[in-house]
């Protein structure tokens, strides 16, 4: 694929192929229904390993064909350079920028925990797997996400760390010399160490991880470009094609016909067909559900936003939009059982507490801690889980800390609601480090991202009515200070036009 495209990353796919093969026998997936609620989630945090992702999706029976794979990294193909959610069948979430995928996996595991809380541990039994590399672990977002996973004791999360000791600039040791085992023990993970090319060790580690009572990281030592005849272990395999001759020699070494390209031997395809649980697994799960559970799931999957009783605000009174937003959040939560969220340790200031609804994972108030970036990436995944609508919150000025994940939400059309309060120099006396200036322009310049900055409490309500029905991320930029509730001449429903006439003025006649 990489050679045909004449660009891309062969090293990681070859290095992780052994792990992926063994993992295939553990996954509960139904290629006929990529939205099956109790499927295992698999996140490839290093999106550059896309050649492996597409190969697996093909072998597992998703709608990725050999001709699709010939079109790898070509414009409009199903097989772009980094996997994209909503574009390729079976891709759980858009990763790409390093570290995002680990936080996404933690978010999927959090959503599954809350689903267990609502539906029962016997109903939601799946695991969340994440394949990641050195680059993912070096990014701060992965630290934040793993600290959260350890804190919440997510026993449904299994990270598999492809430790190949190679980065683009050379050996990992030129910039990183951490004791990864100790780091993850500090975060309350179970740590397993294996040879990532030993099938037996891989299998045993996954079996152990599946029954562990806390999150697990499997540190798998691998060779980048495994199987390349002369380049195995070299950083030259990371981001460029191996070359025709190297591929030819490698195929011969592996016992393949070097003249055949884009071929899956019949016995290999057959073996994978047997591994994948498929329709039968989903049907067995469905049959195990009570009628009550089925109805609960249906209600969560189809939230009735029209049932929300929104607050009303008296004309002429002064209401900060963070305060009106607080009333609205609570009104939504009251009507919609799958509506939850929280703040990066600013709930009292952001006014995001869902009153009387308890703390996550037993309740709906998520204490994200001071980890904005992971918060947004985890919330992206929670919104894609299939049952929940999840918001996140911080000061507007700290939206900078989570911008990379807001961008992914826009790219992948994830309907996360971002609550950003203290919207201007009205933040008060904290000074310029806490005053957003360029942020409004910044997010309005981001395609497929919808930034609402309501002028008053009433417009805040109208904005939410629009936002809840959108399939894209939305941001609510709210004031700390009181804003006068304007005279209510406007017609409701006009917010979705983007602009409307609040009050008629004399029209100036231009000559």
Q: Does residue 306 touch a copy of itself according to CB under 8 A?
A: no
Q: How many residues does the chain have?
A: 511
Q: Is the peptide bond before 361 cis (omega within 30 degrees of 0)?
A: yes
Q: Of these, 53, 206, 308, 346, which contacts a copy of itself (CB under 8 A)?
A: 346
Residues 370-389 that bind a copy of itself (CB under 8 A): 370-374
Q: Measured between alpha carbons, how far is 79 from 64 in angstroms, rounded to an integer?
A: 8
372 is catalytic: yes
- Verify binding: residue 1, a copy of itself, rule CB under 8 A: no
Reduce the DSSP state of residue 365 to 3 states and report it.
strand
Q: CA 400 to CA 384: how far, in whole Å?
A: 23
Six-digit token pair at 255?
Answer: 């016992």
Looking at residue 261, the DSSP 8-state letter turns out to be -
Q: Closer CB to a copy of itself, residue 90 or residue 135?
A: 135
- Spatial separation of the C-alpha atoms in residues 39 and 169, rounded to whole Å: 38
How many other CB atoms are there within 10 angstroms of residue 318's CB atom? 12
The answer to whether 183 contacts a copy of itself (rule: CB under 8 A) is yes
Q: Tokens 């008629």 identify what position?
A: 504
The answer to whether residue 359 forms part of the interface with a copy of itself (CB under 8 A) is: yes
- List, in sequence order, the alpha helices (H) in 120-265: 134-138, 140-152, 180-186, 199-210, 244-254
Classified as helix, coil or strand, 498 is coil
User: By CB under 8 A, is residue 324 in contact with a copy of itself?
Assistant: no
Q: Which of residues 12-71 bind a copy of itself (CB under 8 A)?
A: 47-48
Distance of CA 176 to the CA centre of its chain: 26
CA distance 169 to 155: 35
Residue in this structure with the two tokens 């460029």, named with its chain if needed = 240
**255-274: which residues touch a copy of itself (CB under 8 A)?**
none
Rounded CA separation 23/500 (Å): 54
Query: Does 97 engage in binding with a copy of itself (CB under 8 A)?
Result: yes
The piece of 116-124, 256-264, 275-283, 404-412 that touches a copy of itself (CB under 8 A) is 404-412
Q: Which of residues 152-171 bind a copy of itself (CB under 8 A)?
A: 167-170
User: CB-wise, 30 or 435, nearer to a copy of itself?
Assistant: 435
Please, what is the end-to-end C-alpha distance for the chain in angstroms? 64
- Residue from 271, 446, 455, 486 touching a copy of itself (CB under 8 A): that is 446
For a copy of itself, the closer CB: 85 or 452: 85
Nearer to a copy of itself, 191 or 264 (CB): 191
d(CA 328, CA 326): 5
According to CB under 8 A, which one of 89, 118, 176, 466 is a site residue for a copy of itself?
A: 176
Site for a copy of itself, residues 120 to 139, rule: CB under 8 A: 134-135, 138-139
Crossing angle for the helix pair 140-152 and 372-384, to the nearest 10 degrees: 70
What is the closest distance, in whole angstroms, from the C-beta atom of residue 246 to a copy of itself in the complex?
19
Please, what is the minimum distance in Å from the beta carbon of residue 33 to a copy of itself? 26
Is residue 437 part of the contact set for a copy of itself (CB under 8 A)? yes
**Least Å from the CB of residue 483 to a copy of itself:** 20
The set of residues, in sequence order, having a beta carbon less than 8 Å from that of 348 and lying 6+ positions away, is none
Q: Confirm or reject binding of residue 343 to a copy of itself (CB under 8 A).
A: yes
481 binds a copy of itself (CB under 8 A): no
- Under the binding rule (CB under 8 A), the answer on residue 186 touching a copy of itself is yes
Identified binder of a copy of itself from the candidate list 345, 470, 490, 502, rule CB under 8 A: 345
In whole angstroms, the minimum distance from the beta carbon of 259 to a copy of itself comes to 26
**Beta pairing partners, 365:** 341, 359
Q: Which two tokens stand for residue 456?
A: 């008053």
- Select from 95, 201, 250, 460 the one that contacts a copy of itself (CB under 8 A): 95
State which of residues 19, 51, 131, 408 lies at the interface with a copy of itself (CB under 8 A): 408
Neighbours of 135 (CB within 10 A): 19
Q: What residues contact residue 429 under an 8 Å CB cut-off, 6+ apart?
A: none
255, 447, 498, 499: residue in contact with a copy of itself (rule CB under 8 A): 447
DSSP category for residue 497: G
- Tell me the C-alpha distance between 41 and 33, whole Å: 13
Kindly state the helix (H) or strand (E) to which residue 318 belongs, with its residue range.
strand 318-320
Instruction: Tell me how many degrees the CA angle 81-87-90 measures, rounded to the nearest 5.
Output: 95
Q: Which stretch binds a copy of itself (CB under 8 A): 95-103, 114-122, 458-466, 475-483?
A: 95-103
Question: Does 418 help bind a copy of itself (rule: CB under 8 A)?
Answer: no
- Work out whether 249 is an interface residue with a copy of itself (CB under 8 A): no
Number of residues that bind a copy of itself (CB under 8 A): 85
Q: Which stretch binds a copy of itself (CB under 8 A): 203-211, 216-224, 368-376, 502-510?
A: 368-376
351 sits near a copy of itself (criterion: CB under 8 A): no
Select which of 139, 144, 190, 372 is catalytic.
372
CB of 248 to a copy of itself, least distance (A): 23
Q: Please give the positions annotated as active site.
A: 372
């Amino acid at each position: 694929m990489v050679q045909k495209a004449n660009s891309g990353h062969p090293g990681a796919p070859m290095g992780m192929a052994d792990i992926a093969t063994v993992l295939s026998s553990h996954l509960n997936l139904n290629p006929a229904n990529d939205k099956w609620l109790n499927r295992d989630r698999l996140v490839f945090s290093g999106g550059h390993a896309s050649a492996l992702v597409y190969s697996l999706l093909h072998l597992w029976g998703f709608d990725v064909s050999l001709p699709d794979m010939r079109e790898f990294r070509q414009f409009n193909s199903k097989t772009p350079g980094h996997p994209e959610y909503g574009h390729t069948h079976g891709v759980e979430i858009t990763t790409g920028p390093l570290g995002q995928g680990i936080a996404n996996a933690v978010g999927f595991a959090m959503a599954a925990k809350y689903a267990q809380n609502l539906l029962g541990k016997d109903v939601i039994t799946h695991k969340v797997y994440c394949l990641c590399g050195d680059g993912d672990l070096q990014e701060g977002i992965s630290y934040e996400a793993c600290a959260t996973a350890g804190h919440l004791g997510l026993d449904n999360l299994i990270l598999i760390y492809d430790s190949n000791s190679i980065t683009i600039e050379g050996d990992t040791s030129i910039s990183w010399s951490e004791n990864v085992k100790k780091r993850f023990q500090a975060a309350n993970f179970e740590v397993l160490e294996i040879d990532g090319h030993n099938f037996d060790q891989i299998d045993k580690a996954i079996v152990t991880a599946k029954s562990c009572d806390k999150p697990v990281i499997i540190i798998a030592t691998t060779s980048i470009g495994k199987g390349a005849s002369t380049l195995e272990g070299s950083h030259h395999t990371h981001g460029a094609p191996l070359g025709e001759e190297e591929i030819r020699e490698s195929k011969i070494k592996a016992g393949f016909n070097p003249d055949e390209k884009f071929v899956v031997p019949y016995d290999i395809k057959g073996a994978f067909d047997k591994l994948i649980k498929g329709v039968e697994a989903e049907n067995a799960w469905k049959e195990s559900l009570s009628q009550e559970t089925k109805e609960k799931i249906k209600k969560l999957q189809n939230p009735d936003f029209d049932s929300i009783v929104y607050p009303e605000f008296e004309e002429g009174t002064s209401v900060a939009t963070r305060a009106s937003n607080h009333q609205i959040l609570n009104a939504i939560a009251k009507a919609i059982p799958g509506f939850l969220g929280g703040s990066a340790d600013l709930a009292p200031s952001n006014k995001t507490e869902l009153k009387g609804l308890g703390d996550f994972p037993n309740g709906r108030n998520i204490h994200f801690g001071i980890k904005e970036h992971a918060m947004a990436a985890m919330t992206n995944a929670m919104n894609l889980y299939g049952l929940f609508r999840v918001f996140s919150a911080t000061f507007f000025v700290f939206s900078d800390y989570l911008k990379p994940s807001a961008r992914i939400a826009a790219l992948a059309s994830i309907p996360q609601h971002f609550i950003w309060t203290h919207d201007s120099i009205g933040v008060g006396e904290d000074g310029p480090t806490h005053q957003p200036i360029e942020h409004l322009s910044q997010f309005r310049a981001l395609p497929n991202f919808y930034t609402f900055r309501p002028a008053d409490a009433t417009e805040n309500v109208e904005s939410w009515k629009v936002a809840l029905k959108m399939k894209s991320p939305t941001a609510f930029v709210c004031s700390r200070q009181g804003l006068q509730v304007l005279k209510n001449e406007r017609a409701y429903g006009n917010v979705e036009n983007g602009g409307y006439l609040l009050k008629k003025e004399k029209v100036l006649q231009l000559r």
